[in-house]
Amino acid sequence: MDRFVIEGPTRLEGELEVGGAKNAVLPLMAAALLARGDSIIQNVPDLHDVRFFMTILEGLGATCSLVGGELRLGTAEAEGREASYDLVRKMRASIYVLGPLLAFQGEAFVSLPGGCAWGPRPVNLHLEGMAALGAEIALERGYIHARVPRGGLRGGRFRFEPVSVGGTCNVLMAAVLARGETVLENCAIEPEVTALAIGLRDAGAVIEGIGTPTLRIQGPVTLRPLQQTVIADRIEAGTFMAGVALAGGRVRLTGVDTVHLDPITAVLREMGCAITEEPGAITIAADGRPVATEIITRPYPGFPTDMQAQLMAVCAVADGTSFISEGIYADRFTHVAELQRLGADIRVDGARATIFGVPKLQGAPVMASDLRASAALVLAGVAAEGTTIVNRVYHIDRGYECIEERLASLGARIRRESV
Ligand code: EPZ
């Protein structure tokens, strides 16, 4: 098991290219199952979650290779219909194969995903959406058993409540092969969802309203294999921006879509960061303590929940009292106790955290728990005085490629140790 050893405080200076978005790659990988042939996806980061999803697809009979950011998925022999508990329990996004298997194979056996570090993660919207397309859904010994009715899936109407990124992706992938018109309302419009819809449309799907909360799909179609380049990871970019706000310095990030960063940029500017934008790049500079802020996490284009932990680390050293309400998940605060070990003064009341800014954090051993909470602890360690040890960094490797090398290239004193 690896851990990071971080000596602080250091400032972050330099330039970094942001990688492809994990949360855009995974649904595109699942969508490859909707066509026969070789899908090619470019700008793919080499992440544990991507490698793991490749394993899932290989278990279904697909061939997968990832070389130099190019992911090739061959589905000519992909006849499998089951995603086992042993796989799905390790990565919730495995459920993305449900829609494509149901629509393309006519039947799917997918284990119900477990919870995660911060609580239950229901999939009722995925199932209700498939049922709206005529699917017969049964829960059997911890598995979702989904079958298409005689004649295949048929177009239907479904409204997501609440907004669901995964639910939108899964039901959209099933709907493109359904016979007739499907109308999906209150869809997620995260850039990663829009990227999936664009990928499907480029492969022959008939989808109107892409980028809006209402998607209108005409089917069935025969999809061509996907050919897509993955959008930049707005959460990875935001994480490095939060690092500069927290530790101080000046960093230019390239390969980004600045529009996707708007909700994050707005908050960090309010906190006193100087941020300049240019086509495909963003530069953030910060000195001294950030200004306290108040945010509620919301579906896009609101402030992203996947940046909540990182922002809380910034608020921990802000000049004043900040308030963070988690509007998406009831209890996504596993990072609070660990930030408190570093000297942060935080009080949690339900889904709302009050952060009393302190001048400096103090290095200490801490425990990573989930992907984004772990990233927040690493950023806090860069800014803290003394040595911070972040244990269980496999959480971070799921969604950040070589984060220690990238932070070190900006001046952080961080090394990985195997223990
Ligand atoms: C996606 O998860 C992301 N994961 C998450 O990022 C992200 O936090 C989340 O969207 C919200 O933006 C991937 O894209 C792989 P949801 P997802 O369905 O699809 C409730 C990361 O760090 N809900 O949009 O699982 C749910 O409980 C990860 O990269 C239902 O009630 O999230 C939550 O309160 C962590 N029923 C809300 O909707 C359902 O059937 C939003 O969840 C589905 C969801």
Q: Determine which residue's CA is closest to atom 21 belonging to ligand 1.
A: 306
Does residue 360 sit in helix, strand or coil?
coil
The pLDDT assigned to 415 comes to: 97
What separation in Å is there between the alpha carbon of 219 and the centre of ligand 1?
A: 27
Beta bridge pairs of residue 206:
218
Query: Hey, what domains does the chain have and what are their CATH numbers?
Result: 2-19+232-418 (3.65.10.10), 22-229 (3.65.10.10)
The pLDDT assigned to 191 comes to: 98
The pLDDT assigned to 88 comes to: 85
Mean pLDDT of 190-203: 98
Question: Active-site residue among 116, 169, 273, 315?
Answer: 116
The pLDDT assigned to 89 comes to: 84
Mean pLDDT of 211-236: 98
Model's pTM, two decimal places?
0.97
Pocket test for ligand 1, best of 328, 333, 334, 403 (most atoms within 8 A of CB): 328
Report the candidate in 1, 2, 4 with the shortest Cα–Cα distance to residue 380. Answer: 4
- Which atom from ligand 1 is nearest to the alpha carbon of 116? 35
What separation in Å is there between the alpha carbon of 11 and the centre of ligand 1?
A: 33
What separation in Å is there between the alpha carbon of 163 and the centre of ligand 1?
A: 9
Residue 79: is its pLDDT beyond 90? yes
Mean pLDDT of 137-158: 95
| pLDDT tens string 16-65 | 999 999 999 999 999 999 999 999 999 999 999 999 999 999 999 999 99
| pLDDT tens string 354-390 | 999 999 999 999 998 889 999 999 999 999 999 999 9
Average pLDDT score, the chain: 96
Residue 220: is its pLDDT beyond 70? yes
CA trace torsion 323, 357, 333, 3 (10° rounding): 150
Q: Determine which residue's CA is closest to atom 38 belonging to ligand 1.
A: 164
The pLDDT assigned to 120 comes to: 67
Residue 411: is its pLDDT beyond 70? yes
| pLDDT tens string 291-308 | 999 999 999 999 999 999
Q: What is the DSSP letter of 320?
A: S
- Split at pLDDT 50, 70, 90, the class of 119 is low
The pLDDT assigned to 284 comes to: 98
Q: Determine which residue's CA is closest to atom 44 belonging to ligand 1.
A: 164
Residue 258: is its pLDDT beyond 70? yes
Q: Determine which residue's CA is closest to atom 43 belonging to ligand 1.
A: 123
What separation in Å is there between the alpha carbon of 300 and the centre of ligand 1?
A: 12
116 catalytic residue (yes or no):
yes
- Split at pLDDT 50, 70, 90, the class of 116 is low
Residue the block writes with tokens 């790659």: 25
- Split at pLDDT 50, 70, 90, the class of 87 is confident
Pocket test for ligand 1, best of 29, 92, 164 (most atoms within 8 A of CB): 164
Q: Calculate Rg over the CA atoms of the chain.
A: 21
- Which atom from ligand 1 is nearest to the alpha carbon of 299? 12
- How far apart, in whole angstroms, are the C-alpha atoms of residue 333 and residue 309? 8
- Give 190-206 as a DSSP string: -HHHHHHHHHHHHTT-E
- Exposure string of 185-206, with b = 16+ CB inside 10 Å and e = fewer, is ebbbbbbbbbbbbbbbbebebe
- Split at pLDDT 50, 70, 90, the class of 103 is very high
Q: Determine which residue's CA is closest to atom 42 belonging to ligand 1.
A: 164
Q: Which residues line ligand 1 (CB under 6 A)?
A: 23, 26, 92-93, 121-126, 162, 164-167, 188, 305-306, 328-329, 371-372, 399
The pLDDT assigned to 30 comes to: 98
Residue the block writes with tokens 């990124």: 165
The pLDDT assigned to 90 comes to: 86
Residue the block writes with tokens 């598995």: 143
- How far apart, in whole angstroms, are the C-alpha atoms of residue 248 and residue 166? 35
